[in-house]
């Protein structure tokens, strides 16, 4: 069995599930999902700049409405449950947990704990962070000791 740690920031869409579950062809895959809801670590300014770069001006204006802190945890828990159910419905094994602080430390620990074969970081584009190599995938490549694949979400959840 191939073990993938899947790091996400919102609920997986059906297109995302199909994408990640077909990456390894017929090989059976077990997913360990880490979801970090937007919280204190999220930077509204960077998210707004990303929205503007993507031409999503309406989203940039609504960044202040995005749940953060404790409110984001309940939204995050629901997103994790939806994602795990979708992965299981596709025939994959899937377990998951929310992470609140230090996502890369949690990622490294989980990779070691489950003896993962790879890490998949599936997020919306974060142009500012990617440009400066401060996005999860860029930073994880130097920390986890297994291949890290960076994928972009197919659509809004």
Residue recorded with tokens 């062809």: 25
Q: How many CA atoms lie within 13 A of 88 on its CB side?
A: 10
Residue 72 Rama label (left phi>0; alpha psi -120 to 50; beta): alpha
Q: Using CA atoms in the order 22, 147, 33, 95, what is the torsion angle rounded to 10 degrees?
A: 80
Q: Residues 116, 5: contact at Cβ < 8 Å?
A: yes
| pLDDT in single tens digits along all 157 residues of the chain | 999 999 998 899 999 999 999 999 989 999 999 998 764 444 555 555 555 555 655 654 454 455 555 555 578 899 999 999 999 999 999 999 999 778 889 999 999 999 999 999 998 776 555 555 557 777 788 889 999 999 888 765 4
Supply the DSSP symbol for 147: -
* pLDDT for the residue numbered 13: 94
CA pair distance 86, 155, nearest whole angstrom: 15
Q: Please name the helix (run of DSSP H) or strand (run of DSSP E) that holds residue 77, with its range, or none.
A: helix 69-89
CA pair distance 23, 98, nearest whole angstrom: 24
- Buried-exposed string 136-156: b where 16+ CB fall within 10 A, e elsewhere: bbbbbbeebebebebbebeee
* pLDDT for the residue numbered 60: 44
Of residues 136, 146, 138, the one with CA closest to residue 103: 136
Q: Residues 116, 4: contact at Cβ < 8 Å?
A: yes
* pLDDT for the residue numbered 73: 54
Residue 150 Rama label (left phi>0; alpha psi -120 to 50; beta): beta
Answer yes or no: pTM beyond 0.95: no
């Amino acid at each position: 069995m191939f073990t993938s740690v899947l790091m996400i920031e919102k609920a997986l869409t059906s297109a995302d599930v199909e994408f990640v579950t077909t990456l390894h062809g017929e090989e059976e895959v077990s997913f360990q999902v880490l979801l970090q809801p937007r919280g204190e670590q999220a930077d509204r300014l960077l998210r707004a700049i990303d929205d503007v770069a993507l031409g999503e001006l309406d989203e940039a204006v609504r960044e202040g409405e995005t749940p953060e802190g404790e409110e984001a945890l309940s939204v995050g828990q629901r997103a994790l449950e939806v994602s795990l159910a979708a992965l299981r419905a596709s025939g994959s094994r899937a377990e998951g947990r929310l992470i609140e602080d230090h996502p890369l430390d949690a990622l490294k620990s989980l990779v070691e704990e489950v003896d993962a074969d790879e890490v998949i970081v599936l997020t919306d584009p974060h142009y500012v962070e990617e440009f400066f190599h401060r996005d999860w995938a860029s930073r994880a490549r130097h920390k986890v000791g297994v291949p890290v694949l960076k994928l972009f979400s197919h659509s809004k959840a």
